[in-house]
Chain A
């Protein structure tokens, strides 16, 4: 049931305008979102924690600030936060039992930034445990359903954030993307998601999965909204040694609507047998639309695409095996009963971690272990260089690269849980982008015959977020796709 005011259906850009004109208040807007959350959560399960009271307090503070004038664009806008971000004073679980009742004494840098701008946090969204998964079925607290079809997955690992935006529970949300975890759920849920260039946004306070791959990014209903959010998130952070000091462009300004002369690379390795035909048709139709708008498509090859998954599952799991070593029941989180410290470690981690997390820790530990380091981890790091070079070469002749986000649309809950490798293979189109550290935008390009959203991916050169946002925005405004609201 839609909330009477339907303010929760607004985009960030429109809501911001109306807030500034005092046509609506943040309190009204936030209430509309909280009502919607209460109405659909029993069926959707996008949230792990809903912070009603705090949200309304933040909304009241935002209203005071809006009244005083000169508030940032995100002031008073209700957002969802993937439960991977440290939020001071609010439980942060990473969708795992092992974090127990952990309440961080600090905010992640991007959370602090959004707070400073007066954004409103509606709550923490569901995800695959420790961001390991592509469906949010690996959450220790139950999966998130796809708003377009509740018998299907929302995608992962940022399924909660994607579903919540698609269902108009919030106007925007934060996710993270290590191998496709923003782009794939965006694609499955029919919303916009962007993974920025690695190092564009601070990772401080983002619970680490794979340190050289993780990146912060927003979900939104439109490309403009995503650009507005990215502008606030991006930028240097002295607490993150890998974070870039480059100036942050005013991303919304880049949305000129013009793609004349844009050179679009179309890699043959991303249109292969095994893809759903409807997905391919949808993306090819989008390419035709781009040509009609004056862009030029160029056939290219990214020859090492087939090796990306193997490479990823060695690099990411190796880094993860070390990043997750700290969950040991000693300083925070869950602790199992044990007589000595070794048992403490072994039982806490046995009871606290889910199956997929254990699988990846074992794989990663093995890849780094004595006698196997060269054959597995080191080799994967070298293949990573080859994958990076493929893209560098491509960007010599292209401005952007367009591909599907996933080989298929949202699958049924439980369909892929029996075979980990099958699940891993569905990351094929997104993973290389993380390995090469490039920015990737996912936007809806259509729907299949089941009315399930199909997503198109626009990949850019390093720090070329403006270009991919411009390309995405132009397509969105072309009218080629009519967005369908979930019948929730």
Chain B
């Protein structure tokens, strides 16, 4: 039997990192999916890439920069318009535990 590529505990850990709560069924389904997908992507191991540079960009090189000018005007109403909860001009969230 092929060795598992990922454990349930690892799925839980990753779900925590990604801040998504998973039900036990979801956890198990994802574990099985990840197993299958990771086994598939393992085929990349067939390639010798030791001398290959990673591709970070496929666009053109050069560093576009903008001048240090203030080009935006305050519009807090527009920025807050989609807020699920707001108070006195702030975005409101449940108490943050440090």
- A residues touching B (Cβ–Cβ < 8 Å)? 100-103, 105, 198-199, 212, 238, 241-246, 304, 306-307, 309-311, 313-314, 321, 325, 328-335, 338-347, 349-350, 353, 355, 358-359, 361-363, 365-366, 369, 376, 378-386, 388, 420-421, 424, 435-437
Q: How far is the CB of A401 from chain B (nearest CB, A)?
A: 17
Q: Determine if B24 is an interface residue (Cβ-Cβ < 8 Å).
A: no
Q: Within the complex, which residue of B15, B34, B47 is in contact with A386, where a contact is CB–CB below 8 Å? A: B47
Question: Which residues on B sit within 8 Å (CB–CB) of A199?
Answer: 58-60
Q: Is the CB of A420 within 8 A of B66?
A: no
Closest chain B residue to A421 by CB distance? B36
Closest chain A residue to B86 by CB distance? A331
Q: Is the CB of B18 within 8 A of A330?
A: no
Query: Given contacts A238-B64, A350-B20, A359-B33, are A330 and B93 in contact (CB under 8 A)?
Result: yes
Q: Within the complex, which residue of A335, A353, A386 is in contact with B49, where a contact is CB–CB below 8 Å? A: A386
Further pairs besides A245-B60, A331-B82, A362-B11: 4, Cβ < 8 Å: A105-B81, A376-B41, A382-B53, A420-B37
Q: Is the CB of B55 within 8 A of A388?
A: yes
Q: Is the CB of B58 within 8 A of A212?
A: yes
Question: Which residues on A sit within 8 Å (CB–CB) of B42?
Answer: 310
Question: Which residues on A sit within 8 Å (CB–CB) of B85?
Answer: 335
Interface bits B72-98 vs A (CB < 8 Å: 1, else 0): 000100110111110000010111110
In Å, the complex CA distance between A362 and B21 comes to 11
- A selection of 16 A-B contacts at a CB cut-off of 8 Å is A101-B82, A102-B82, A198-B58, A198-B59, A212-B57, A307-B47, A332-B84, A341-B96, A361-B20, A362-B15, A362-B34, A366-B6, A383-B47, A384-B55, A386-B52, A421-B40
Q: Is the CB of A345 within 8 A of B37?
A: no
Chain B 20-58 interface residues, beta-carbon cutoff 8 Å to A: 20-22, 26, 30, 33-34, 36-38, 40-47, 49, 52-58
Query: Given contacts A238-B66, A388-B55, A437-B58, are A365 and B18 in contact (CB under 8 A)?
Result: yes
Q: Is the CB of B44 within 8 A of A338?
A: no
